[in-house]
Structure 1
Amino acid sequence: MESKEERRILVAVDGGDESLYALSWCLKYIVSDNYKDTLILFYAKPPPTLYPDVDGTGYLFSSDVIASVEKYSNDLAECVIEKCRRVCKDSQNEVKVEIKVENGDPRDVICEMSEKLKTDVLVLGSHGYGFIKRALLGSVSNHCAQNAKCPVLIVKRPKH
């Protein structure tokens, strides 16, 4: 009996419609019974914004507020991952699913995680920003396409 080739597919998710579409698209067109696929759902928690006080000796927010912001960030990550698990469960494919969550700028941690996990392909959704918005806000998918060490598949959600 011939053993199936193993593939590691990292899908960066952020809870937006674009990343959920990219995940669904990946499950439909990339994941295959011909391979032994592992789908890694990756959520990058943006670092919290800290505001130093006027003196520069401490922070504007109390530790209670900072703890609340951290709890919200963790709850949001869990909510996003749960949505993605449902999408995977609803698909017709039998695929092994791993979950990874890291703190940091999504552009950097997605590329770092992809390299660390030795993924075969990185799948990202595209927000479809125009040139101006992309220049002002930066593009995670563009950054990853230029800096990831593996092939990058950018899935653009069709306009309805």
Structure 2
Amino acid sequence: MKVLVAVDEGEGSLYALKWTLDHLFRPDLREHPRGRLTLIHVQQPFQHFLFPGPAAMPSAATVYASSSVVDSARRAQEQNTNKLLGRALQVCKERKVEAETLISDGDPKEMICQAVEQIHPDLVVVGSRGLSKFRRAFLGSVSDYVAHHARCPVLIARPRK
């Protein structure tokens, strides 16, 4: 079985990873042919420009970041991604499960669905932030989008309260 787990900085994704390891990669299931676990993290693309508010610069429309600022932001984003995936891989290692990682840039909901098209997992596991119906309608929900658009079964792991 090929399983794709979406990980980000939120506690919901860490719960989703632990749920996957507890229920799909348990030690008693390892005697049978093992599945493949892929962890995907989607980075938000860095904006090279800012739109200052009218109080800051009333006549300016756009301010572009210098190349040193862009490089610094990319390095910080890369360090955060490595730290996040390192923590997720450590959880897998503690449970004696090998995992591979996939890093994408873009909108998380679209990139997760694109990864589904590329690697053809049998299951996608995503966490839940626990948004209310009202907030989910306005902010959008990655888990909701993936559940409706991914071309494979999707499990939304929601921690008990």
**What is the TM-score with the length of structure 2 in the denominator?**
0.86
2:20 to 14, 22, 26: 26
| C-alpha contact 1:10 1:40 (8 A) present in aligned 2 | yes
Q: Distance in 1 between matches of 2:61 and 2:107?
A: 27
Superposition map of 1:44-63 within 5 A: 44-51=42-49, 54=60, 59-63=63-67
Q: Aligned AA for 1:61? A: A
Percent identity among equivalent residues? 34
Q: Distance in 2 between matches of 1:95 and 1:156?
A: 22
Superposition map of 1:61-140 within 5 A: 61-91=65-95, 94-140=96-142
Consecutive unaligned residues in structure 2, runs of 5 or more:
52-59
**Structure 1 residue ranges, 4+ long, deviating more than 4 angstroms after superposition:** none
Aligned twin of 1:11: 5
**What is the TM-score with the length of structure 1 in the denominator?**
0.87
Q: Distance in 2 between matches of 1:121 and 1:60?
A: 41
Consecutive unaligned residues in structure 1, runs of 5 or more:
1-6
Q: CA deviation at 1:90?
A: 1.6
Aligned twin of 2:34: 36
| C-alpha contact 2:92 2:98 (8 A) present in aligned 1 | no
Aligned twin of 1:4: none
Aligned length in residues:
149
